[in-house]
Amino acid sequence: MRPQLLVACVSACALMAAAPSRANDNLDKMSQNPADWVMQAGNYANHRYTSLKQIDVSNAHTLQPKWTFSTGVLRGHEGGPLIIGDVMYVHTPFPNNVFALDLNDNGKILWKYEPKQDPSVIPVMCCDTVNRGLAYDDGKLFLYQADTTLVALDAKTGKPVWSVKNGDPTKGETGTAAPLVVKDKVLVGNSGGEFGVRGTLTAYSTKDGKLVWRAYATGPDKDMLIDPEKTTSLGKPVGADSSLKTWQGDQWKIGGGAAWGWFSYDPQLNLIYYGTSNPSTWNPKQRPGDNRWSTAIIARDADTGVARWVYQMTPHDEWDFDGVNEMILADLTIDGKPRKTLVHFDRNGFAYTMDRATGELLVAAKYDPAVNWATRIDMDKNSKTYGRPEVVKEYSTEHGGEDVNTKGICPAALGTKDQQPAAYDPQSQLFFVPTNHVCMDYEPYKVAYTAGQPYVGATLSMYPPKGDSHMGNFIAWDARTGKIVWSNPELFSVWSGALATGGGVVFYGTLEGYLKAVDAKTGKELYKFKTPSGIIGNVTSYEHKGKQYIAVLSGVGGWAGIGLAAGLTKPTDGLGAVGGYAALAQYTALGGQLTVFGLP
């Protein structure tokens, strides 16, 4: 977000209607009721797990579609519905319509919200017009629109209660992330790293939309809400101007570090966790230094926004390895010692297990054997390069210089995993991860910054690793040891979010459009059904009238499906994805549909 941008609250335009019976309960408590699904990730810890176990390994093969709902919108459908009591809330990509569906009356539409947005925002939305979903609290739904408008809707009527503008699309800022409600605040980030925006995380009052605090990803300590003596990185104070010292001149003002992924929260520690995106531009020659705090994990105090600790996964990112993927909070035993951990599957191909209270690095390992840009993460606490990746010179895009095509880099820019969230099963303590098995050629070139215009500076080509024909794997991961437990290959990247269940069944979707159910212990396929369009949405579970259901949005798009979504054909379009996923058009087509599955 630009420093001079004024954020104003639009006057409240509707009175709150009567809230659902459980609306005044604590949101964390509500998330513990498996009949509902009140947050995009299921709970604050981003587990994407349901304790419901009516659907299990013995009967999953009998699943069948129970009902469907067309959203009436094409392009990529990310995120998933919320279920609160007898109502399901469904969102769409741009123009970001919202539907309230009555589960007691065959999905009857109770109300529909249709925002009026300027379509000029579409060209500045990198990688499709996606939206990752709604948030809920105290009788209100929170929608973060493409044009960066954050609106609170009355959950009973769909009428706006308040709205605020969080950014400026004319400068490349857009809204794609799902908000997160923490206490009396609703959190939103920003998108636009490919347009040279300056990344932010902002907290607004859930009551009236007033700005509470805003933290930037780059720049002066006061803007970043960093205390140079108390904010730490790998156990040491970051010191004054920890970001400014790693940028040349005023580059930090257009340095990226957007927060367009997922947020998590630990109520006991009162800390919010999230990741920041790539630095701008993609040409590393034009921004010498580590470029802090892009491609980083940041832990912030929920009340003040002040950073407790930070950790940069990919210093001086040369490959577009955003750090925005979800932070999963799990209590694990590492080397015989119980730890409150944070587990993060980074775009760069390494999975990190960290102490979420202190930011200590516990485990860092490749979660796809194809990863080659770095050999390992230095885990020696006495080393000057502790916590940094050991980059392979052959795959450094800066080593070759501008206009030199570095070939065979794994993973590709879309990472071993992009925003598609993993799931965690607290019973087995395993993580189930949708991955991309994709490599790239990367050619940087000189680019000038113009507000509102692409600020990329690289041409990419994407393809499977040498010797492989598949572009994705769905894996089970042990974050205690940094090992793959089992791995299922998929023809294309697995771009949907996973769901783990109490019945020992794990669900995910494929880019061809299949919903799949597999045995959590072995990965054995138990069920699959092809929906009308590719699935990049996140699988959700709920219970209604004593029966468990599985719900998922289908509608191909996102970065992997941008060729289909936007009608692009040049192989290097879509930042290289169009050529890499050209064959996808042989398996699926555009659509927008919710499909709900259940037992006979």
**Mean local confidence (pLDDT), 581-598:** 97
What is the C-alpha to C-alpha distance for residues 472 and 463, in angstroms, rounded to an integer? 11
pLDDT at res. 25: 56
> To 5 degrees, how large is the angle CA 296–CA 540–CA 327?
15
Q: Where are the beta strands (DSSP E) in 117-267?
A: 135-137, 140-144, 149-154, 160-165, 180-182, 185-188, 200-205, 211-216, 232-233, 236-237, 264-266
Tell me whether residue 508 is in a domain: yes
Total number of residues shown for the chain = 600
**Domain count of the fold of the chain:** 1
Q: Are strands 49-50 and 499-501 parallel, antiparallel or unpaired?
A: parallel
Tell me whether residue 1 is in a domain: no
Yes or no: say if 498 and 507 are a contact pair by the CB < 8 Å rule: yes
What's the CA dihedral at 202, 203, 205, 209 to 10 degrees?
Answer: 10
**Mean local confidence (pLDDT), 369-389:** 97
Tell me whether residue 362 is in a domain: no
Tell me whether residue 4 is in a domain: no
pLDDT at res. 14: 29
pLDDT in tens, 286-298: 999 999 999 999 9
Non-local (6+) Cβ contacts of 310 within 8 A are 226, 231, 232, 233, 238, 242, 292, 293, 296, 297, 298, 299, 359
Non-local (6+) Cβ contacts of 66 within 8 A are 549, 596, 597, 598
Tell me whether residue 140 is in a domain: yes
- Tokens 């140079």 sit on residue: 228
Q: For residue 408, which phi and psi values (nearest 5 degrees)?
A: 75, 25
Tell me whether residue 92 is in a domain: yes
CATH number of the domain residue 585 falls in:
2.140.10.10
Position 495: which residue type? W
Active site residues: 320
- Token pair of 315, please? 């210093």
Tell me whether residue 217 is in a domain: yes
**Mean local confidence (pLDDT), 341-349:** 98
* CA dist 352 → 94, 223, 230 (Å): 33, 27, 23
Peptide bond preceding 411 in cis form (omega within 30 of 0): yes
Tell me whether residue 224 is in a domain: yes
pLDDT in tens, 535-551: 999 999 999 999 999 99
Give burial (CB, 10 Å; 0-12/13-18/19+) of 467.
exposed
Show the domain range for 377.
Answer: 9-248+256-286+297-352+369-598
- Tokens 């999975």 sit on residue: 351
pLDDT in tens, 405-450: 999 999 999 999 999 999 999 999 999 999 999 999 999 999 999 9
- Tokens 């050999």 sit on residue: 375
pLDDT at res. 400: 82
